[in-house]
Structure 1
Amino acid sequence: MKCVAYQAETQQLWDEWVASARTPLFFFKRNFMEYHADRFQDASLMFYEDDKLVAVFPASRRDNELISHGGLTFGGMLFSNKARADTVLAVFDALLEHARGMGCERIIYKTIPYIFADQGAQEDLYALTRMGATLVRRDLSSVIHLDNRPKLSKGRKWLIARAAKLGLQATVSSDWEAFHALLSEALQRHGAAPVHSAQELSLLQSRFTQNIELKTTWHEGRLIAGAVLFHFGQVTHTQYLATNDEGKEMGALDALIETCIRESEARGAKYFSFGISTENGGRTLNSGLINQKENFGARGMVLDFYEISIN
């Protein structure tokens, strides 16, 4: 088993591998990972057995740490459908040796939630345990299993009905500037800011037109709610949701989310993901935020971070 650093000349091979992996997520492709290359020191790795590619690892480096890429919410080792347990274990052994050779003292590994896998893909968790990895962080996310969705709460139904009476409709949009302004205003109340700029969102959408979608709701010429959706085949994920006081009162965001859920179901998706509701490295649960998601029928799913001590 041989481990080598990713090089630009292997971009096509990398992207083709991602597309055929058990976890074929578009944001592991280089045109997504490298839009913020100035913020992260890329340290992605490729693994070969008898000169045949068997795995890739989207990663970045920070001081003496090798990290499942710091610019992505999650992202572990990517294997093909043909990979078996012995191969996975050999890849992790090679990862450890390579990281040691880089002078790293630890590896931070972010696992990929089960809903994003096309088939069984948790051999990496066994490999981590065998290596003595420690669970250092666990975030709580929320997901709807669309084939077995709990009923909407009464309050949510009322707000959706209110929006319908007011004639509010969610439509596909490309007005990233207007949405970003709405999102920034909403996050500012909580002392936060969007991870992406409006220009970055527009750039990424132009690169992944089938995977990134902006849905907005307007009232009398004013934007009152919006959602950025990431489409991952069987999963639709809400990357950003935003509304203002006017939109809240009118039920605009509630109706928009319900529209997105139903459209995802019609598209053939199996899961609708809302993302995490935890803060402070997973130690604090934002009860109000997760309650909103649970009112739509979402239930818990964890995002785990493991630390492998190399020394």
Structure 2
Amino acid sequence: MTHDLSNYAVVKYTDSYYDQWNEFVSVAKNATFLFHRDFMTYHKDRFEDFSLLVFKKNKLLAVLPANRVGKTLHSHQGLTYGGVVLQSSVKFSVVLELFFHILKYLNSCKLEMLQLKQIPSIYTNYPTEEIDYLLFVLQAELVKKDTLSVVDLARKLKISGNRMEGVKRGRKNDLLVKEEQEFDLFWNKILIPNLKNKHNASPVHSLSEITLLKSRFPNSIRQFNVYHEGKIVAGTTVFETERVAHSQYISGDENKNVLGSLDFLHQYLIDVIYKDTCYFDFGNSNEGNGLKINKGLQYWKEGFGARTVTQDFYKINIKNYHFINAVFI
């Protein structure tokens, strides 16, 4: 394969590309609001941003949300998913060339490793696994594989008897699901205490951070609380993209099983709020870098008809970029 270097330019992101970047991800075939610069920068103090833009004859064809740690470039560690974001109409041969140039550029920057966190297929608007094939060519190492529990909302499976029992308890206890614009009650009364008590952990997003993100993406981040006799007993924070509603946080108080609060909430979201969406994503139940699965959590999610979609994480030796030259015959 012959590369016309004069046609391609790989550029490190600066604020001067803010509008161009955001306009691109708004129409890319494998992007969501998480790739908008206003989302990526809410925690910019934690990461050394090293995002890239790829141009061919001055036309933007791809971006790579990324951060640098030493001699490794990470598909941005502050995002749930990432990878190379592509123009909708781009064909395989161009993807091959632009990925070659990304790796060649990183090699010129004396970087040695690229860690890619692929976007799950349910989030893409068009087939977009060109990079997956090139990772095979590059002899990339699969270092992690998570399992997402996903409900296909156009072809829902029947909810299990156990989950329906919970839904019935919720009805019997006159539970109320209400969408809220504030996160304080859920964060302070339910989420933070639960994570502290069960895992000695804190939410990935602080209350101030999720409030800031809500102000920036008011239609994409939604909070649903469950109330019993006027008191909050459970809730979920949903990240809503074009094709997927994803429960970013799910938590209930100590009476969640007695009240049926989480079953009642999610049956309502799946059957009413998100019935016209393509997928409902409960997220992963993995632990131990993907090698272990929380069986009880997986069982609960599958009770709503969720089935498995995987997310792959790869490590690439950047110096192998020349392997791409031998693909076409």
**Residue 259, structure 1, aligned to residue 259, structure 2:** no
Query: Deviation of residue 310 (structure 1)?
Result: 2.1
Residue in 2 aligned with 1:231?
240
**Residue 300, structure 1, aligned to residue 308, structure 2:** yes
Give me the whole-angstrom Cα distance separating, in 2, the residues matched to 1:122 and 1:3: 21
State the one-letter code of the partner of 1:248.
Answer: N
CA contact (8 A) 1:3 1:47 kept: yes
TM normalised by structure 1 equals 0.97
Percent identity over the alignment? 36
- Unaligned 5+ segments in structure 1 are none
CA contact (8 A) 1:4 1:47 kept: yes
**Residue 106, structure 1, aligned to residue 113, structure 2:** yes
Which of residues 35, 38, 58 in structure 2 aligns to 1:31? 38
State the one-letter code of the partner of 2:32.
Answer: L
Residue in 2 aligned with 1:192?
201
Residue in 1 aligned with 2:250?
241
Deviations 1:185-227 (A, max 9, x none): 2222123321010111111011101101000012233210010
Deviation above 4 Å: which 4+ runs of structure 1?
A: none
Residue in 1 aligned with 2:326?
none
Which of residues 254, 259, 272 in structure 2 aligns to 1:250? 259
**Residue 40, structure 1, aligned to residue 36, structure 2:** no
Residue in 1 aligned with 2:325?
none
Give me the whole-angstrom Cα distance separating, in 2, the residues matched to 1:72 and 1:24: 12
Residue in 2 aligned with 1:159?
166
Residue in 2 aligned with 1:90?
97
Which of residues 219, 224, 248 in structure 1 aligns to 2:228? 219
- Unaligned 5+ segments in structure 2 are 1-7, 320-329
Give me the whole-angstrom Cα distance separating, in 2, the residues matched to 1:221 and 1:157: 23
Greater Cα offset, 93-102 or 6-15: 93-102
Residue in 2 aligned with 1:278?
286
State the one-letter code of the partner of 2:175.
Answer: L
CA contact (8 A) 1:264 1:272 kept: no
Give me the whole-angstrom Cα distance separating, in 2, the residues matched to 1:174 and 1:185: 21
Give me the whole-angstrom Cα distance separating, in 1, the residues matched to 2:179 and 2:273: 14
Matches within 5 A, 1:35-74: 35-74=42-81
**Residue 141, structure 1, aligned to residue 148, structure 2:** yes
Give me the whole-angstrom Cα distance separating, in 2, the residues matched to 1:45 and 1:79: 12
CA contact (8 A) 2:214 2:221 kept: yes
Deviations 1:155-185 (A, max 9, x none): 1101101111211111111331221121112
**Residue 12, structure 1, aligned to residue 27, structure 2:** no
Query: Deviation of residue 137 (structure 1)?
Result: 0.7
RMSD of equivalent CA atoms? 1.2
SS at match of 1:273: strand
Matches within 5 A, 1:118-133: 118-133=125-140
State the one-letter code of the partner of 2:253.
Answer: N
Query: Deviation of residue 264 (structure 1)?
Result: 4.2
Residue in 2 aligned with 1:208?
217
Give me the whole-angstrom Cα distance separating, in 1, the residues matched to 2:237 and 2:83: 24
**Residue 3, structure 1, aligned to residue 32, structure 2:** no
Aligned residue pair count: 310
Give me the whole-angstrom Cα distance separating, in 2, the residues matched to 1:23 and 1:87: 16
Higher Cα Rg, which structure: 2
